[in-house]
Structure 1
């Protein structure tokens, strides 16, 4: 099963690979995704395309990324990345501490807005992981 959400890649990366989650966690991730689609008004097709690696420069998709990142705990309401939470979540799916630190260093960079930070983190994570796991 493809990686679904997490934001990501590292910064907002909630890097939750569904195959590695409990049933309860999977349901939570699915619920968060649905809630963020409803809250942001993003076109579900854009989210589906992002899961496949086709990222659109769409403000609602970026808002979706931030929404998801907040719900997962990767960013706070002000948009600050919660690095320790991110490290913990990444470590649960990546068994190499050096790789986790490398992903965080490469992908967690504050951008002009919390939405942009979350979105770019997801994109970076997708591009930097060998399996191209999606965070959305």
Structure 2
């Protein structure tokens, strides 16, 4: 399976290889990362530790994930995550696996919106660990 990058947008996201992301959309993804790192104060080492299914459990990383989801409009005020908005970005080979994981992961809820975002992405990391990493 192609490399998974929960780009929270993109996650929530998948790697650029697994997504059919036009060149003009890649820069905004990088801008969201930079903005969310600044907003949450997350240390880059935690984002880098997210490779291959490892998702560190630190408060700043939880809120970083929420921030990425907010930037891409896939999480609502009540914590509901709407992944259907990004299905069109997936290659056919990845879309089916992602949709199956969505059925289980979109129902995760924590005490705060940061917790909900983290638990949702953690679920994806557990179900689709190969190549999983945060953007």
Q: Give the TM-score range, shorter chain.
A: 0.7 to 0.9
Give the Cα–Cα distance (whole angstroms) in 1 for the partners of residues 119 and 54 of structure 2. Answer: 13
Q: Which deviates further from its counterpart, 58-67 or 20-29? A: 20-29
For residues 54-69 of structure 1, the aligned pairs below 5 Å read: 54-69=54-69
Query: Given the superposition, is the C-alpha separation of residues 55 and 14 from structure 1 closer, same or farther in structure 2, using an over 3 Å criterion?
Result: closer
Q: Is the 8 A contact 2:5 2:131 kept in 1?
A: no
1:5 offset after TM fit, Å? 4.2
- TM-score of the superposition, structure 1-length normalised? 0.78
Does residue 1:116 correspond to 2:115, yes or no? yes
Matches within 5 A, 1:85-124: 86-93=83-90, 95=92, 99-108=97-106, 109-124=108-123
CA distance in 1, matches of 2:51, 2:36: 15
- Residue 121 of structure 1, CA deviation: 1.5
User: CA RMSD of the aligned region, Å?
Assistant: 2.6
TM-score by length of 2: 0.78
| C-alpha displacement of 1:57 | 1.3
Which digits, 9 at most, give the CA deviation of each residue in 1:76-117, with x for residues without a partner?
3x253242xx12313531537754442112111222211111
1:101 to 1:52, Cα distance in 2 relative to 1, 3 A: closer
SS of 1:18 mapped into structure 2 = coil
State the aligned residue count: 130
C-alpha separation between the residues in 1 aligned to 2:88 and 2:134? 15
User: Helix, strand or coil for the counterpart of 1:73?
Assistant: coil
Q: Larger deviation: 97-106 or 118-127?
A: 97-106
* Runs (5+) with no aligned partner, structure 2: none
Q: Which runs of 5+ in 1 are unaligned?
A: none
